Amino acid sequence: SQQGEEDPQALSIQEGENATMNCSYKTSINNLQWYRQNSGRGLVHLILIRSNEREKHSGRLRVTLDTSKKSSSLLITASRAADTASYFCATVFNDMRFGAGTRLTVKP
Amino acid sequence: SQTIHQWPATLVQPVGSPLSLECTVEGTSNPNLYWYRQAAGRGLQLLFYSVGIGQISSEVPQNLSASRPQDRQFILSSKKLLLSDSGFYLCAWSRSVSNTEAFFGQGTRLTVV
């Protein structure tokens, strides 16, 4: 069964704008990860945040984690058309479980 | 460097036929291995998870099975496919230590007709 739930399901923005995606989960975690998937391809890892961390940055990506609310957010700043993809959060405790994803469209 | 191979890329099979999807990992030892299924436009459903040879956890009781005959080989099988088995199947691996990322194969698109 899936663990995380992303919100929104779909997001459409203009190039240069920021994109924020949220993830909620239900059980304990060791870490939470965000992945990107281009249509019909495998997933690519973006960033990992441990359960004892609250915020992490990687380039134009910023991830926050609130374990008390069991939620995480992914912020992509200064978006580009090439950022168009589906984004998934994954929670890891023993195994790794994914949410339904957010479909991001960045219009040039 | 580590690589993951998953094949075939696409597969069309008739209802009732058997299935065998293979995934192999190179460049690492004792990886955690995963099989996921993704319906069109949906998230990934965890099917099987393995931490070692012969150690497989099944998440979904259905007509699929998995085996790990070698440390870096993970096989997804079915004796008789159903229409509902159609989907995009993804294999992934991660290191056995905690707090590490997973690496995905390119996936197999299975259409059962």
Chain B hits for A31, CB-CB cut-off 8 Å, are: 98-99
Question: Average pLDDT, stretch B90-109?
Answer: 92
B99 touches chain A (CB under 8 A): yes
pLDDT tens sequence for chain A (108 residues): 556 788 899 999 999 999 999 999 998 999 999 999 998 889 999 999 999 999 999 999 999 999 999 999 999 999 999 999 999 999 999 899 999 999 999 999
Residue A95: both structure tokens together: 């195994």
Burial of B113 (0-12, 13-18, 19+ CB in 10 A): exposed
Helix (H, G, I), strand (E, B) or coil at B84: helix
Between CA A74 and CA A36 the distance in angstroms is: 11
At CA B1, angle to CA A55 and CA A76, rounded to 5? 25
Cis peptide before B8 (omega within 30 of 0): yes
B49 touches chain A (CB under 8 A): yes
Question: Average pLDDT, stretch B57-79?
Answer: 92
Chain A hits for B100, CB-CB cut-off 8 Å, are: 48
Between CA B42 and CA B54 the distance in angstroms is: 30
